[in-house]
Amino acid sequence: MNDNTQNHMDKEDFEPGVGNALSRGWTEMKGSFLVFLLAVLVLSVFMTPINMGGEGHYDSSPLVGILETAYLFLLYPIINYGADLIFLRGVRGDQVEVKSVFDGFGNYVNIILASLLTTGLIGIGLIVFVVPGIYVACRLAFVSYLVMDEGLDPIAAVEASWRLTRGHAWQIFLLGLLSVFIFILGLMLLIVGVFPAMIWIKASFAALYLAVTDEEMEPAEV
């Protein structure tokens, strides 16, 4: 009886909405701060070569360019997807271990192919026109969760994300836009604030994903 009541309350807390996602993300950030911080620090370490390459800190030889591209597409997605899994589990209330950030290596092929497919679809949208690219990015925002948590293959994950985000693209876009301002605010706070900003952003997107999936399941439970 108590479990059913608690489940009902949890689902009310997870109603889709930008404000609800940010609120839930903030709450979970405070509750699991150290675990989330370590996950973000690991992710930041793996982001460093990408940032350095973008700033031209490496020489621009063809070999270096190839290595940078290989790193971006063949290694970084593993850590990024693993971090998304940690935040999803944390927001959902599951037991979280920082070592899960490396869980993606056990699902390497699906993650790399899903990342390539997502990047390709968004890239096509951006080439056609900027707005379609942004729209596609919003509709594919849940791919990493579906690959890591549901174990879907790349095509199934893209199709499932497209279905789940129907009617929620505007919410995802607005959350993404607010995330930019949150990140900038973190930068302004002596750079140290970047890490709490990243935690809040990732926790909020995980909360929105859970809200949407909970809403998807509700009719089947009636």
Q: Please, what are the averages of pLDDT over each run of 10 residues along the chain (222 residues)?
A: 39 75 95 94 87 56 83 94 96 91 94 96 91 95 97 97 96 97 90 91 97 78 41
Number of separate helices (H) and strands (E) present in the chain:
11, 0
Per DSSP, which regions of 4-150 are E strands? none
Query: Is residue 34 classed as helix, strand or coil in its secondary structure?
Result: helix
Using alpha carbons, select from 108, 85, 111, 109 the residue that is nearest to residue 98: 85
- Sequence-distant (≥ 6) Cβ neighbours of residue 204 within 8 angstroms: 21, 22, 24, 25, 26, 175, 179
Domain ranges of the chain: 17-217
What's the confidence (pLDDT) of residue 2? 36
What's the confidence (pLDDT) of residue 47? 86
- Sequence-distant (≥ 6) Cβ neighbours of residue 62 within 8 angstroms: none
